[in-house]
Structure 1
Amino acid sequence: MISGKKLKELRLIRNLTQKELAIKSGISDAAIRNYELGNRSPTKQQLDKIASALNCDPGAITDHNLYTNIDFYQIIFDLETNFTLRPYRDESGMSFLMSNSPEFNDFLKEWDDMRKKHYNNEISDEEFRDWKISYPKKSALLKK
């Protein structure tokens, strides 16, 4: 299901009106308005068109319905196999998630780099949010 809040936020980051997004995506401005208000949800095909017009992955404007820590833990369990995630505890007792997936590790490194740039004021709040919403389309890994 689409997140109206995320859709509106990304539309505004892209400096688009609802009408402009409607034109770029080939969907009516009334539909865009209803998606943002949470009155309707687009089909998969419509969601893909909107994401393409916003230059983002459809997952960036989807509501993932994580309401509790338990919801998050269950997702980690589900991803354990696909991403070879496993818990790890260092000598100090700190716990981490580790993975044997080079792609996942590259993502974590890039995310860490971007967080540091944001913390050090090398990029703005908006640029950091845009990078996250636009991932993987704005990934430095794609430029290699």
Structure 2
Amino acid sequence: MSRGERIRRYRKMKGLTQKSLAEKIGLAESAVRNYELGLRDPSQETLAALSEALGVPMSALDDYELSSAREALEALFRLEDAFGLKPVDGETLALDPKAEGAQKLSAALAAWRGALDELEAGEMTQDEYERWRATFE
């Protein structure tokens, strides 16, 4: 999902129009429209304002387009470097508990699993789950 698509998604989840979001961040409505359409990229300052107005961390607005297995593998290599995530077999990944940051990632993964369990049990709506994903820190 592109940055513009994320901005649109979080804006709608917050119940804002392009105009009202633009007013909150001190820009023209056309600027928000151009960001959402991917015609322009917001500056770091504007990203910070969008993040605050939408109630999501700036990282939720980052653009991580993965369109190939190689790109996904590169992301996994970075997770290996940062958290000790490694393949167990062709489909399963595991954390090296001795790796720096592994405990924090393990706790985050457990929280994610818990949210998915709530979604699957009907205890959380899809919109609530999307909000959880956007605001988890």
For structure 2, the 5+ residue unaligned runs are none
CA-atom RMSD in angstroms: 1.7
Q: Is the 8 A contact 1:99 1:105 kept in 2?
A: no
**CA-to-aligned-CA distance 1:89-121 (integer Å, 9 cap, x gap):** 5xxx86223243111011000000000000000
| 2-structure distance, mates of 1:83, 1:29 | 41
Matched with 1:56 is 56
Is 1:96 the equivalent of 2:93?
yes
Q: Is the 8 A contact 1:5 1:36 kept in 2?
A: yes
Q: Is the 8 A contact 2:119 2:126 kept in 1?
A: yes
Q: TM-score, normalised by structure 1?
A: 0.84
For structure 1, the 5+ residue unaligned runs are 137-144
SS in 2 for 1:97: strand
Matched with 1:140 is none
Alignment of 1:49-128 (within 5 A): 49-89=49-89, 95-100=92-97, 101-128=102-129
The alpha carbon displacement at 1:132 in A equals 0.6
Question: Which structure carries more relative contact order (alpha carbon 8 Å, separation 6+)?
Answer: 1
Superposition misfits of 4+ residues, deviation over 6 angstroms = none
Alignment of 1:129-140 (within 5 A): 129-136=130-137
Q: Is the 8 A contact 1:88 1:98 kept in 2?
A: no
Change (3 A) 1:27 1:99: farther
Give the fraction of aligned pairs with identical amino acids, expressed as a percent. Answer: 28
Query: Between Structure 1 and Structure 2, how many residues are aligned?
Result: 132
Q: Is the 8 A contact 1:27 1:46 kept in 2?
A: no
| 1-structure distance, mates of 2:5, 2:34 | 12
SS in 2 for 1:31: helix
